[in-house]
Amino acid sequence: MSHQTDLAQLYTAFFNRAPDAAGLAYWVAKLDAGTITLEAIAKNWVDQQPEGQTKYPDGLSSNDFIKAIYTNVLNRTADDAGLQYWQGQLDSGAISRDVFLAAVISGAHANTSAQGLLDAQLLTNKADVGLAFADKGLNDTSLAAKVLTTVTANADSLSITLSLIKLVPANSSLQTTDLLSRVSDTLGKVAALITGAPSELHDLATYLSTVSASAGGTTDLGALLTKVGNVTAAALTDPTALDNPADLATSDVAATTPNTGGGTPPTTPEPPALTATIVDGVLKLSGTGTSDVLVDVHTQKVTIGAEAVTVTGTGPFLGVNASTYANGKVTAVGTVKEIVAKNPTYIGVDSLEVVDKAWTILTWADNYLKDVQKISVLNNAAGTLSVDWYNSLVTLTGTNTWTHDIRDTATKINSSVGMDALSKASQVVVADTLVNLESVAGGTAIDATGGYIVLDTWAHISSPQGSDASFISSAQQTIVHDTVAGMQAAISAGYVTVNVSDYEVEDTATNLLAINQIDVTLLKKASSVLVTGDDAGVLNLSERLELGTLTDDDYWAYSIKDSTENILANAKSYQSNFSKDASSLTAITSSGVDALDGDISTHSIVLAFNGLSDASTFTFATNGYTFTGTPDTFTHFNAATDKIDLNAYGLTGQDTLSLVQGETNAVMNGHFAVLNNVTLHGTVVSAASPGETAGTLILWDADNTAAIKQVGVWLPGQTVDATSVLHVVD
């Protein structure tokens, strides 16, 4: 099947609706580019898409999930044995929900029983209707769901539904709300006929086939659909209503077409300046206007010029598709998460703007705000900042007009006297440990600011002696700044109340992540969360994301160790900098073996690198390998004479192998890998699927050092055997 057909089938099965045109085009483009697989799309819909999560929430039991999928995919209930089997598989974690969905679809096509053949035909009919719906450029998800209610395994139901879709104009400006409402109403009457008078379906199919073939550009489609609806409704109780269906269809079309027996020429509406429709959680803008458009993702409002635009469709939108509105500038504005951190879709948008709290901007800036054109502080009030955070916020926003307070250590306060951070602050407070506050530098800072805050561990605050006690009693505020264990002790003693008191946590990444799994309140209520020594150590990608949301900033050092699958997926997501900015990167197999320093044997892919250490150069996966740059490409080799000699070239760690066609060499270096039955999608080499052009990728390290620098040779249509002789397949 084509990517379009595969996707249409997945849409109709998972969402129980036809694919919207924009969504189908988006995912097909990704499949065609090889940047994602159908399996990954199914997982994305289950785990991330708002529509999928609404239809199948995390709290939905496995039993209810299975029943819902069977109903959506096959229009029937699961048999008891099948239900018990799949429930056991899901509950045990043997398979995930997206894999179950794919298994049901595949099983329906593979089943050759009478029921299996009906199931397969139903899936095919639904996919055909879905493609026809999307081909009309339709994005109304309510209508997309309605159009599947008239589709069964019966060929007449398919013909009827396709004929109705054919009546919808391809020009989006003619797809008026009234016209689509009449289509929806007619679909409802057809669905009733399928249930109440199935014997009339063949006549209705003939009638509608003739109607769709006879209607022309001047036919009043609204009036014609009314007639179609009336005929369909009448046939539910009157067996004679559809007698002579072809003649009846010809008569009805003539009656609604000018100069052929009746009807009034339809008035072609003026294309609207701008229409805004929510499709699969994305706001689609289209129209012929020339004014600038502002899309406020936070308030869910759209304005063109000074006028508000009515937004149609259901649910909130996150992301904008303005590909069909090219005459004016389109700006999207919202919080950090709304604009960039939730991986929204922005197509045809000229400018992205963030308006958020200063803390959020500072926390997410490094990894998320590099492509944002404008950053503003919410309500122009930055709150309390350290000197360094003040300077960072000035750099990010390009201004310092917002109000702010400064709270920092004695040393930092003393070194910043007379600078903007302090001179323009509404208030400056020294916040430091007892030892630092009682020092000479502490006295200088206190004299300059007039007040101070004790910021120290629970051990120091809980039992102060001498001058410590005096400093605590005279402080504006005393704040516990401690590790997770120290904070738990302060809470246990009743000194800190997580719902009231101001407290700060600083600990290792391991301890911060661990306590967040046990007690989400402790860190959530803290006024500050820091990583000890600004070094988080080794994290997996999930931990990296979680820690970034827990802490005040994410500028700390870290290394990544995760599965090859997760690393590849991460490189394609909004978290792409996680791997890039890591001080080191380690990919592991599902068995825990270091995939960057050892052997991997999975199906047709065999890697045999020893001592691989340059993680920034190579990213491996059990089903692929990602590289940067353009590999040498050779499409014709002499099977009898052509071999490759790695040592013969005397390569260094920075060299790239270059071959001369027809030259004979022998592969001798042990630091190489041969990947057979793979294919190349962009820069991703993966196991070839049926129907794809398979080939071989040869990777090597010819300089006998630990670091691998050479890239490889991509050989489409060829395989390499154990003796490394190239055999021409095509």
The model's pLDDT over 313-348, given as tens digits with 9 standing for 90+, comes to 887 887 888 888 866 788 989 888 788 755 567 888
HSE-up of 435 (CA within 13 Å, CB side)?
Answer: 3
3-state helix, strand, coil in the chain (%, to 5): 45, 20, 35
- pLDDT at position 467 is 87
- pLDDT at position 692 is 75
**Pairing mode of beta strands 557-563, 585-588:** parallel
Residue with tokens 């201004």: 399
Residue 505 within any structural domain of the chain: yes
**Pairing mode of beta strands 351-356, 330-334:** parallel
Tell me, what DSSP letter sits at residue 61? Answer: -
Q: Does 121 share its domain with 235?
A: no
Helix (H) or strand (E) holding 617: none
Q: Does 486 share its domain with 547?
A: yes
- pLDDT at position 722 is 43
The number of folded domains in the chain is 5
Q: In the listed set 72, 105, 139, which residue is the last one of a domain according to the structure?
A: 139
Residue 18, exposed/middle/buried by CB under 10 A (0-12, 13-18, 19+)? buried
- Indicate the SS3 state at residue 444: helix
Question: What are the residue ranges of helices labelled H in 400-540?
Answer: 410-415, 420-423, 434-437, 440-449, 458-462, 467-474, 484-492, 509-518, 520-524
Residue 584 within any structural domain of the chain: no
Q: Does 517 share its domain with 635?
A: no
Tell me, what DSSP letter sits at residue 274? Answer: -
- pLDDT at position 537 is 93
- pLDDT at position 513 is 93
> What distance in Å separates the CA atoms of residue 483 and residue 498, rounded to the nearest whole number?
15
Residue 377 within any structural domain of the chain: no
Q: Does 340 share its domain with 425?
A: no
- pLDDT at position 88 is 84
Q: Does 342 share its domain with 489?
A: no
Residue 15 within any structural domain of the chain: yes
> What distance in Å separates the CA atoms of residue 279 and residue 300, rounded to the nearest whole number?
14
Tell me, what DSSP letter sits at residue 687? Answer: E
Q: Does 299 share its domain with 256?
A: no
Query: pLDDT tens across 539-585, in order?
Result: 988 898 888 888 877 778 888 887 766 665 565 454 455 766 777 76
> What distance in Å separates the CA atoms of residue 367 and residue 341, rounded to the nearest whole number?
9
> What distance in Å separates the CA atoms of residue 726 and residue 718, rounded to the nearest whole number?
7
- Indicate the SS3 state at residue 215: coil
Q: Does 118 share its domain with 160?
A: no
* HEC sequence for 643-677: CCCCHHHCCCCCCCCCCCCCCCCCCCCCCEEEEEE
Q: In the listed set 538, 571, 604, which residue is the last one of a domain according to the structure?
A: 571
Residue 333 within any structural domain of the chain: yes
Q: Does 632 share its domain with 683?
A: yes
Give pLDDT < 70 ranges for the chain: 1-2, 259-272, 306, 326-327, 341-344, 365-368, 564-577, 579-580, 585, 587-676, 680-687, 697-716, 718-730
Query: pLDDT tens across 468-516, in order?
Result: 898 899 899 999 999 999 999 999 998 988 777 789 999 999 999 999 8
Residue 149 within any structural domain of the chain: no
- pLDDT at position 367 is 60
> What distance in Å separates the CA atoms of residue 42 and residue 46, rounded to the nearest whole number?
6
Q: Does 70 share its domain with 92?
A: yes
User: What CATH code is carried by the domain that includes residue 1?
Assistant: 1.10.3130
Q: In the listed set 95, 113, 139, which residue is the last one of a domain according to the structure?
A: 139
Evaluate whether 377 touches 361 at the Cβ level (below 8 Å): yes
Instruction: Give the Å distances, CA to CA, from 421 to 19, 273, 389, 393.
Output: 54, 47, 9, 11
Residue 400 within any structural domain of the chain: no
Residue 399 within any structural domain of the chain: no
What domain range is 471 assigned to?
406-571
Q: Does 500 share its domain with 567?
A: yes
Tell me, what DSSP letter sits at residue 534? Answer: G
Find the radius of gyration of the CA atoms of the chain.
33
Q: Does 131 share its domain with 168?
A: no
Angle between helices 21-33 and 38-47 (to 10 degrees): 130
Q: Does 296 share its domain with 259?
A: no
- The first and second tokens of residue 80, run together, are 């008891």
> What distance in Å separates the CA atoms of residue 388 and residue 380, rounded to the nearest whole number?
19
